[in-house]
Every structure is written in C-alpha cells, then in structure tokens.
C-alpha cells in the first residue's frame, strides 16, 4: 500500500478510502446510447482505481478525471453487472445508472479487473447471505456498517460453521445413542426372556395346578361319603349328561376331573379313610 497515494485520495477524492486493490494507468468512460444502439465516449478519462473503503459501499471503481473536476464512481455490489462485450471494453449494467462501459488499451488489465470485481461480488453475496441467515439487523446494523465485508464475514462464517458443526455432532450423537440402545435391547431381550421364563413357570405352575384342580373338582362327588364313593355302582353309573350333544364334551371334562381328583390330596384322604373303614390298612 502506497501511503502517499492513500493520503492523496483521502484528501482529494474520499476520506473513507483505506486501500487501493487494483489500478489501470489509463481508462475512459463510455455511455451506451439505447435508441441508437451505439457506444459514445464520455468526458471522463484518466487512471482507474479499484479502492477499498472503511464504510459502505466498501468497494468501488473510480476514474480520476484529467479533463474536468468530475470523477467517475461505480460501487461494486450485487446491484451491478460486470462483463466484457469487447476485448478492450468493460461492460457495466447498473440498476440505477443504466448501461455504460470502461475502455482501456490493455485487454489483459481489463481481464484482471473483471476477476477482482467477481471476487468482491462473491464476498458481498456471502455477506448478504450471512446477514439473512443470522438475522443481522436492528442494533447489529451499526456494527455491520462500521466494518468491511471481509472483516464481518470471516468471524461470522466461523461462528456459523461452528454452530452447524455442533448441531451436526449433537444430531449424530443422538442417532448413535438410539442405535446402540436399540441394539442393546435386541441383544438383551432374548436373554431376559430366557432367564425369566423358568422363574415365571416355577411361580405360575403351582397356581395353575391349584386353579385347575379347583375348577375340575366335582362338588357333588366330594360331598358324598366314602362308602358311596367306593361302591361299584358309582363308577358304573358315572355322570349323566342332559343330551347327546354335550356327552362328548362332558366325557372330556370328566377325564380332566378324574385327573384332577387323582392329584387332589383331599380326595386321596377320603379314599384312605374309606379303605380303612373297610378294614384295609
């Protein structure tokens, strides 16, 4: 950075200029005549500078006019379109100013300038995107206006990336934990069932046997005396059912009742008492 050039520009052109990004020794301003569809040379001609400022607009092109005191200024932002229609003419379309161009005898320098302008517009686009994403406005606008786009974008981009990375890590960690928990459950559930089934069976079998014994214990048989139970007529007669349709079901229930009686301590006590009363010891 040429400090003497910067001081001169601050005195004569713009006190907010802090740096010169690019320069072309000689350039001329051309205006495009829409009705006639021709380029017409303007009254601005001299060295072209691409400068950086400490406030908005942060970058602009200026031609230091040698013919008059009126210089050329074009802010570099997304509102302006820069292109090359001819080798030595930089085409500019501005929403507010219309269509005009900058001519230079050096097509190579114009190409380099066009590349610089593209880089700056990319920075401006990123800055606008970050402002939108981070909802920069209101009180923050004072901070934005006092700093250049690159000084704003780098910390904010870093902050944005870190927040997104943290959010991504938390999401992945949650997914990992859920996957591991599901895997653990699938692995442990069979082991748990195998462990609990014997305990459950051991606990429920006595209850089941008692409930079945109670369910299939014929009350009318248990109420009879031991003498009647041992009479042959009892077994010959059996249990009479009301109709033939229920006889099959009744026989099955009778079988279950006999099995239940065979396992009943109370019934066995009655049989023993009856046998003893008949003289069997």
Q: Does the pLDDT value for residue 224 go beyond 90? A: no
Tell me the per-residue pLDDT of 117-138, one tens digit each, with 9 for 90 and over. 999 988 888 877 777 777 554 4
- Percent pLDDT > 70 in the chain is 73
Q: Residue 143: its pLDDT value, please? A: 40
Per the CB < 8 A criterion, the answer to whether 84 and 110 are in contact is: yes
Dihedral (Cα; 71, 23, 152, 121), 10-degree rounding? 80
The yes or no reply on domain 3-145 and CATH 2.30.29.30 is: yes
Looking up tokens 């239940």, which residue turns up?
A: 260
Q: Residue 144: its pLDDT value, please? A: 40
Per the CB < 8 A criterion, the answer to whether 108 and 39 are in contact is: no
* Buried/exposed 66-87: b ≥16 CB within 10 Å, e otherwise: eeeeebbebbbbeebebeeeee
Q: Residue 157: its pLDDT value, please? A: 61
Strongest mean pLDDT among 43-52, 163-172, 213-222: 43-52
Give, in degrees to the nearest 5, the angle at Cα 146 between 18 and 133: 120
pLDDT band at 53 (very low <50, low <70, confident <90, very high): very high
Give, in degrees to the nearest 5, the angle at Cα 259 between 256 and 260: 85
Cα–Cα distance measured from residue 228 to residue 64, given in angstroms and rounded to the nearest whole number: 135
More confident residue, 65 or 265: 65
Dihedral (Cα; 28, 32, 33, 39), 10-degree rounding? 60
Residue spans per domain, the chain: 3-145, 160-210, 217-277
The DSSP code sequence of 57-103 is: S-EEEEE--SSSS--EEEE-STTEEEEEEETTEEEEEETTTEEEEEE
Q: Does the pLDDT value for residue 207 go beyond 90? A: no
* Buried/exposed 146-177: b ≥16 CB within 10 Å, e otherwise: eebbeebbeebeeeeeeeeeeeeeeeeeeeee
For 231, the token pair is: 């009479």
Tell me 146's DSSP state.
T
* H helices present in 217-240, as ranges: 219-223, 226-230, 232-237
Cα–Cα distance measured from residue 256 to residue 250, given in angstroms and rounded to the nearest whole number: 10
Tell me the per-residue pLDDT of 133-190, one tens digit each, with 9 for 90 and over. 775 544 444 344 434 444 444 555 666 667 777 777 787 788 888 888 888 887 777 7
Q: Does the pLDDT value for residue 235 go beyond 80? A: no
Q: Residue 245: its pLDDT value, please? A: 55
Q: Residue 248: its pLDDT value, please? A: 67
Per the CB < 8 A criterion, the answer to whether 133 and 61 are in contact is: no
The separation between CA 188 and the C-alpha centre of its own chain, rounded to angstroms, equals: 30
- Percent pLDDT > 90 in the chain is 28
Looking up tokens 């006595």, which residue turns up?
A: 206
Looking up tokens 């400022």, which residue turns up?
A: 53
Q: Residue 152: its pLDDT value, please? A: 43
- Identify whether 240 is preceded by a cis peptide bond (ω within 30 of 0): no
Tell me the per-residue pLDDT of 64-94, one tens digit each, with 9 for 90 and over. 999 888 899 999 988 899 998 788 999 999 8
Looking up tokens 């500078």, which residue turns up?
A: 49
Q: Does the pLDDT value for residue 218 go beyond 70? A: no
- The mean pLDDT of the chain is 76
Q: Residue 244: its pLDDT value, please? A: 54
More confident residue, 162 or 12: 12
More confident residue, 29 or 189: 29
pTM: 0.47
Lowest mean pLDDT among 38-52, 87-101, 121-135, 229-243: 229-243
């Amino acid at each position: 950075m040429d400090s003497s050039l910067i001081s001169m520009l601050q005195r004569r052109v713009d006190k907010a200029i802090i740096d010169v990004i690019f320069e072309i020794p000689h350039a001329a301003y051309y205006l495009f005549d829409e009705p006639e569809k021709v380029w017409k040379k303007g009254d601005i001609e001299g060295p072209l500078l691409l400068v950086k400022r400490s406030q908005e607009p942060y970058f602009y092109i200026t031609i230091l006019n040698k013919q008059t005191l009126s210089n050329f200024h074009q802010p570099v932002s997304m509102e302006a379109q820069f292109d090359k229609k001819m080798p030595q003419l930089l085409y500019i379309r501005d929403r507010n100013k219309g269509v005009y161009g900058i001519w230079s005898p050096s097509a190579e320098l114009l190409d380099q300038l066009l590349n610089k302008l593209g880089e700056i517009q990319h920075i401006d686009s990123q800055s606008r995107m970050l402002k939108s994403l981070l909802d920069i406005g209101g009180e923050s606008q004072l901070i934005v206006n006092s700093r250049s786009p690159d000084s704003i974008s780098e910390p904010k981009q870093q902050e944005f990336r870190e927040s997104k990375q943290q959010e991504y890590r938390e999401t992945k960690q949650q997914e990992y934990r859920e996957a591991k928990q599901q895997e653990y459950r699938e692995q442990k559930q069979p082991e748990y069932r195998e462990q609990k089934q014997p305990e459950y069976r051991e606990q429920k079998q006595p209850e089941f046997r008692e409930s079945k014994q109670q369910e299939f214990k014929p009350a009318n048989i248990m109420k009879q005396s031991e003498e009647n139970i041992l009479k042959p007529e009892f077994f010959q007669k059996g249990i009479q059912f009301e109709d033939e349709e229920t006889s099959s079901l009744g026989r099955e229930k009778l079988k279950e009742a006999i099995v239940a009686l065979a396992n009943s301590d109370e019934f066995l006590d009655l049989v023993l008492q009856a046998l003893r009363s008949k003289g069997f010891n």
